Each structure stands twice: as structure tokens, then as C-alpha cells.
Amino acid sequence: FNKVRINGEDYLSLKASQDYGWDVYVLARWTQVTRSVKLTMSLAVVLLSLTLVLIFLLWKNQQQRRRYEQQVLEKLEIKVEERTRELRRTQEELVQAAKMAALGQLSAAITHEINNPLTAIRAYADNAHQFLQMGNNEMTESNLRKITGLTERMATITRQLKTFSRKSQGQVERCDLDLAIDSAQLIMQSKLTQCSVVLHQQRDVNARWVRADLVWLEQILVNLYSNAIDAVAERDGGQVWLSTEVSGNRVYVHVGDNGDGISIEDVSRVFEAFFTTKSIGKGLGLGLAISYRLAQDMGGELSASNSEQGGAVFSLKLMRDSDPEALLDEASGSCNKAGMEQTG
């Protein structure tokens, strides 16, 4: 390609060599060529501009969509938080209602458990007064000691009832499982006696420390005890078993009875809210449902099955925690070892 000037006008010259020694020249007016180039470049600039505008619009639209999605997400998160708080409040109210219902069902037996010591205290007080008038200081002191023991027993019962009835925020921490079991048994002792049910226990000494909320744990145990007692209350020779065991980093609490067990149809429904096989007035159908949820909130699990003997067995799985004394012994051993190394 060459630019040539002919008769004062510019041309674009294209030379093509042919056979036989001929050269063919093709001339095109320079203005026409540049016009085509300028038109092509202008078209390219326009297309590029349109492309950039389109890219900008797409980017802006994407940014707006992202901002909108972020706003929707933030609103959704706020709604979820509000709904979670509402559900938490509802759950706490249901938990408290279930505890009050359980105490209501136990009120007659608890009243009997407190009235008996009161009657005995009055009798011992009258006797002490008479012995004091007779100058028998030894018998007077003996009766006063018995009165002290009875008042301590009543204080223990009321203290456990107060602890059981209070609200809890669900603080999962190191808990003494044996203490929770003892507290639940103290609350249920009057019902065990009233229904003539024998309680058997087999506790693993290594299953003492767990991760749980103490109030929630006591509530679950009271509910499991109550259901087991109800299952055998109307039969002769009613028995309830409690056992604990350790498996890896888990602690299992099993509560069973020698009742009729759970039917195949009901096994999958026992933890549903308002489901109950008890007669009207004897159960709301909330105890196991709430216990199931509390176990989950503590990182555990509550399950139901039937034993080989036919009775129902409820198993509570909890996270195991280290024994504080073992940790202290281990820390002491480490310190002693470090001291020996420094001495050496």
C-alpha cells in the first residue's frame, strides 16, 4: 500500500505483480479510503461507548440489587432475631408452666410430706415441755434434737422446691449430676411413698460431672421420675430404675419402669407437644416435649424405648465434663514434675 499524488489529488495505490512481468496498480481516492476508515472507527467508538454504558448500567443494577438484597437480609435477620426472642420467651413460659403443673400434681403429696414433720414437731415440743417440768433434762434435749432434725428436713424440702420452681436462663456449665438426681428424688420422694413404688439406683462414679443447666437438668429428671411413677402407680410391685453410665465424652442417664411400656405407634410421638396417654386431668402432654427441647438446648438428647422386660426406658444423653478433683490432681502433678525438673 502506498499513498501517491496524481494531478494534485491523493490516491491509495495497491500494486499486484502478475505473471509475464506485468504489474497491476489499483488506485482508490484517498478521501474515500479515509472516509471509510473514519466511519469504521466512529462506529467502533460508538459500539465501545455503548458497551461501556451497558457495562456501567449492569454494574449499577447489580450494585442496587446487592444493596436491596442486603437490606432485605438485614430486615430478615431482625425479624428472625425478634421471632427467636419471642420463641425463647414462649419456651421459658412453657417451661415455667410445666414446672408449676408438676408441682400442682405433687402438691397433695408434698403437703403430706410437710404436715407429718409438723405433727411430729408439735408432739416432741409438748413432750419436751413435760420433761422440762419434770426436770428430765436428758429427754428434753433428746426431743429438741429431734425437732431440730425435722425442721432441717422441712427446710431441705422447701429449699429444693424453691430451686426447682425458679426460672433459669439456660446457663450451660459444669453441673453435679449426682446433686441434680438427689434433688429430683427429694422432690419425688413423697410421690414414690404415696404410690408405694420402689426406686432402684445404679450410678457410675465417673458420670458425676456434666455440662448442663442445673435447674433444667432437675426439671428433666423430675419429669422422667414422674412419668415412670405414673406408669406403675396402679399396679402392685411398681418399680422404677435409675442408672448412669459413661461412654466416651458422653454421660447417659436411664430412667425405666416395670410398666406396660410404650406402644409402637406412640414411640415416635412421645415428645410431641400436647401428646399424652394419661387420662384427662393427669397430664398436659408438655412435660416430655419441654424436656426434649431442654436436653437439646444443653447439647444433649432425650430418647425413649422399651426394655426387654417390657417397661419404658427414657435415656438422657449429656456432654461429660472433667472431674474438678482430677483436674486439680493433674495440675498438681504437672507442677511437681516441673519443680523436680528445675531442681534436677
Please spell the DSSP secondary structure of 91-108, one letter per residue: HHHHHHHHHHHHHHHHHH
The more confidently predicted of residues 82 and 113 is 82
Q: What is the pLDDT of residue 343?
A: 45
Reported as a single tens digit per residue, the pLDDT across 240-299 is 999 999 999 999 999 999 988 888 877 777 877 666 766 544 555 667 888 888 898 889
The contacts of residue 223 (CB under 8 Å, 6+ apart) are 98, 102, 287, 288, 290, 291
φ, ψ for residue 300 (rounded to 5)?
-115, -160
Q: Residue 122 pLDDT > 50, yes or no? A: yes
Asked if the model's pLDDT at residue 70 lies above 70, the reply is: yes
124-165 pLDDT, tens digit each: 788 888 888 888 888 888 888 888 887 877 776 676 666 656
Q: How high does pLDDT run on average in the chain? A: 80
C-beta separation of 325 from 209 below 8 A = no
pLDDT > 70? residue 75: yes
Residue 263: phi and psi, rounded to 5, are -70, 160
Overall pTM surpassing 0.75 (yes/no): no
What residues does 304 pair with on adjacent strands?
A: 314
Higher pLDDT, 262 or 168: 262
Give 3-35 pLDDT, tens digit per residue. 777 777 777 777 766 666 677 666 677 777 777
Q: Who wins on pLDDT, 163 or 185?
A: 185
User: What b/e sequence results for 284-307 when a residue is b if at least 16 CB atoms lie within 10 Å of its CB, and e otherwise?
Assistant: bebbbbbbbbbbeebebebebebe
The predicted pLDDT at position 264 comes to 81
Give me the count of residues in the chain: 344
**Higher per-residue pLDDT: 253 or 172:** 253
- Which amino acid appears at position 15 of this protein? K
What's the chain's Rg over C-alpha atoms?
A: 43
C-alpha cell belonging to residue 287: 412435660
Q: Which residues contact 11 (CB under 8 A, 6 or more apart)?
A: 3, 4, 5, 27, 28, 29, 30
Are 249 and 299 contacting, i.e. CB atoms less than 8 angstroms apart? no
Read off the amino acid at residue 246: V
Exposure letters 219-237 (e unless 16+ CB within 10 A, then b): bbbbbbbbbbbbbbbeeee
| pLDDT for the residue 21 | 67
Q: Note the pLDDT tens digit of each residue in 307-341.
A: 887 789 999 999 999 765 554 554 455 445 444 44
Strands 301-306 and 198-202: unpaired
Confidence of residue 342 (pLDDT cuts 50, 70, 90): very low
Residue 334 has what pLDDT? 47
Q: Name which residue leads in pLDDT, 112 or 230.
A: 230
Q: Out of 31-45, 49-63, 181-195, which region has the weakest mean confidence (pLDDT)? A: 31-45
What are the grid coordinates assigned to 338, written together? Answer: 516441673
C-alpha cell, 128:
419436751
Q: In the predicted model, is pLDDT for residue 206 greater than 60? A: yes
pLDDT (average), residues 38-51:
88
Calculate mean pLDDT across residues 110-115: 66
Q: Span 173-344: which CATH code? A: 3.30.565.10
Per-residue confidence (pLDDT) for residue 195, from 0 to 100: 87
